[in-house]
Amino acid sequence: MTNNLKAFLNMIAFSEGTSTIKASDNGYNVIVGGTLFTSYQDHPRKRVFIKRINDYSSAAGRYQLLARYYDAYKKQLGLKDFSPASQDAIAIQQIKECRAIDDINDGKFADAVAKCRRIWASLPGAGYGQHENKQADLQAKYVEFGGVLA
């Protein structure tokens, strides 16, 4: 994994608000809304009502993956659990599916964010009606996490 990809994953976790929860395992054990789960054996599959979107979400983990997507990626990638390594593998696969890996590795941060915003609602321009972070703030975090810009 390149330094730029590590920095981008850290930026996503920051943007999603998981890695900033002090009692968490760097965001890997966070359920949407900020509560924590205790076992990495499986996705926690807890549905939480989110008032601001007036709907339920099963998002969990460092990258806030929905349970239904976990099941598909678990099978596709041959994963055994919802461990930090599995969560990272899924996030990397999602980035690949967005065709953003080369942009990340080449330091084309804005292009990568634009390609990945359909996956992570907290990225600028996502359009899901949830809080979106500012591009400049996320870019600063990416650089802080060791990412290099083109």
What residues are labeled active site?
16
> Could you report how far apart the first and last alpha carbons of the chain are, in Å?
18
Render 64-129 in DSSP notation, one character per residue.
TB-HHHHHHHHHHHT--S--HHHHHHHHHHHHHHTT-HHHHHTT-HHHHHHHHTTT-TTSTT--SS
Which tokens in the block code for residue 135?
């591009």
Question: Residue type at 83?
Answer: S
